Amino acid sequence: MFGPPVDLSFKNISALTESWKIEPTRGLRPLRRDSDRKYSSRSLRLSNNNIKDLHDLFRPINHFLSEPSLLSWLDLSFNQISHIHSVLCELRELRVLYLHANAIFIMSEVYVLAALPHLHTVTLHGNVIETEQGYRWLDGLTSSTRCRG
C-alpha cells in the first residue's frame, strides 16, 4: 500500500538539485517512511515553485521515494518550465502529469510524452501553447513517438 503524495509545493524551489534538503509538507494523512527513511508514495508534488529546468528531476524522485520507478503522479504546475525535458520519458509508470500554468511554448515537445505507455492525463492550460490552434487535439500522440533530448 502506498501513502499520500510527497508534497514539496510552495517551498520556493528553483533548483531541483537543492530540493532534497527540504522537508515535505505534512498533510492529513501521515507519510510513511521505510528503513532508508524514504517515503512510500507513488506521487510527488512540486507545484507552485520557481522550477525552470527539469534535467535534475531524478534528484528529488530518488531522494524522497522508496520506489522511484513506480512514480505514477507528478505535479509540476505553477512553475516556470518552458521545455518538456526528455527526463520525463524515463518515468515509465507515469499516469498523471500536471504541467499547467508554466511557460511551455513548443507544441512538438508535448508529443514526446506519447512514449509513456500509461500516461492518460496531461494538463497544459495556462501555457503559451494554449494559444496555438488545436493544442487540445494532440492527435500526433502515438506510442511510436520517441523521447528526444
Low-confidence ranges of the chain (pLDDT < 50): 139-149
Q: Which of 63, 43, 46 is nearest to 3 (CA)?
A: 43
User: Does residue 87 lie within any of the structural domains?
Assistant: yes
> Where residue 123 sits, what CATH number does that domain have?
3.80.10.10
Query: Which set of grid coordinates corresponds to residue 74?
Result: 507528478
How confident is the model over 94-128, as pLDDT tens digits? 999 999 999 999 988 888 898 999 999 999 999 99
Predicted local confidence at residue 30, as pLDDT: 86
pLDDT for 136: 64
Residue 71 lies in a domain: yes
pLDDT of residue 143: 38
Looking at the domain assignment, is residue 146 inside a domain? Answer: no
Q: Is residue 137 part of a domain?
A: no
Q: What is the pLDDT of residue 1?
A: 62
Domain carrying residue 112:
6-21+32-131
Asked, for residue 139, whether it belongs to a domain, the answer is: no
**Of 54, 18, 27, 24, nearest to 38 (Cα)?**
24
Q: Is residue 142 part of a domain?
A: no
Q: Interior CA angle at 7 toward 61 and 96, to 5°?
A: 65
How many domains would you assign to the chain? Answer: 1
